[in-house]
Amino acid sequence: MLKKRMIFTLLFDNGEYALSRNFRLQKVGNLEWLKKNYVFSRISFSIDELVILNVTRGEKNEDLFRSHVRTLSEECFIPIAAGGGILNIDQAKKLLRSGADKVVINTPLYSSPELVYSLSEEFGSQCIVASVDVKNMDGDYSIWIENGSRKIEIEVKEYLLNLANMPIGEIYFNSIDRDGTGQGYLMKMLDILPDDISVPVIMAGGAGKYHHLSEGLKNDQVDAVATAHLFNFVGDGLIKARDGLIEEGYDLAKWANKCDNFKGKD
């Protein structure tokens, strides 16, 4: 059985990092701010993976995004999944060469599913993270693409079943309604997943406190929990969260804590 994972998500917005609430962005700080408040050579020992999403609206500066991925990969000792605006193999290849270990795909899952198969043939299915953004309206769920601006006209369970049969490594399952609220995950959202899904599921959208991460990991359908809440987990927040999860008995990877051997860059 795979170990449970704790994931930290960064939202890149045209050179700065942002908070998101229901997909409305608020810029917080640049790369230097991020490195100062999150010493990645230290917190790398408290998270299992880093997800970096390019959520820039409109035209994206791909070179700038890749330079940030490269910088963070040099300070991180954990796998990095990065994406946002990937429409072809060349873009994915450049991102992987910039330090990413996986690519995150969202809109093309619906608009260009053939890209998923091409990426799988080129890099392997384990390299593909399928990002799914879900809205809930009085129990009626829908899938949204293009940075949450467009609802797709397909029944949710059908879409997710098709997705589960694609050559992907895992699903980043995100609630638009809980995004950035800090109110906890929308756990009922798991009910719309296919019953026999074998693809690992990352729960995202709503985690603002330690106990939200614990609630997510408690569910057998959840393989990993993610948070993008920059303020609530600033400083040693991620370190304390992981220690608490391990103390509760969750099966997370353990390693010798070498944090004191590294110095952060101001």
Cα distance between the two ends of the chain: 40
For residue 180, name the pLDDT band (cuts at 50, 70, 90). Answer: very high
**Closest to 243 (Cα-Cα) out of 255, 260, 231:** 255
β-pairing verdict for 16-21 and 80-83: unpaired
* Phi/psi at 212 (5° precision): -70, -40
Tokens of 49: 């993976």
For residue 144, name the pLDDT band (cuts at 50, 70, 90). Answer: very high
Q: What is the pTM of this model?
A: 0.93
Give yes or no for residue 216 having a pLDDT over 60.
yes
138 flagged as catalytic? no
pLDDT at 1: 54
Write the pLDDT tens digit of every residue in 150-172: 999 999 999 999 999 999 999 99
Helices (H), the chain: 31-37, 40-43, 62-75, 89-97, 108-111, 113-123, 156-164, 210-218, 237-247
Catalytic residue chosen out of the listed positions 48, 133, 179, 223:
133
Tokens of 111: 């608009």
Across the range 187-203, mean pLDDT stands at 94
Extract the runs of DSSP E, i.e. beta strands, from 102-200: 102-105, 128-137, 140-145, 150-151, 170-175
Domains in the chain (CATH in brackets) are 5-261 (3.20.20.70)
DSSP SS3 for 224: strand
Q: Residue holding tokens 């392997």? A: 124
Give yes or no for residue 220 having a pLDDT over 60.
yes
Write the pLDDT tens digit of every residue in 14-46: 999 999 999 999 999 999 999 888 888 777 888
Question: Which of 92-96, 151-155, 241-245, 247-251 has the highest average model confidence (pLDDT)?
Answer: 92-96
pLDDT at 266: 35
For residue 261, name the pLDDT band (cuts at 50, 70, 90). Answer: very low
**Closest to 115 (Cα-Cα) out of 167, 37, 40, 50:** 167
Across the range 45-52, mean pLDDT stands at 93
Report the alpha-carbon distance of residue 107 to residue 145 in Å, rounded: 5
Report the alpha-carbon distance of residue 119 to residue 51 in Å, rounded: 18
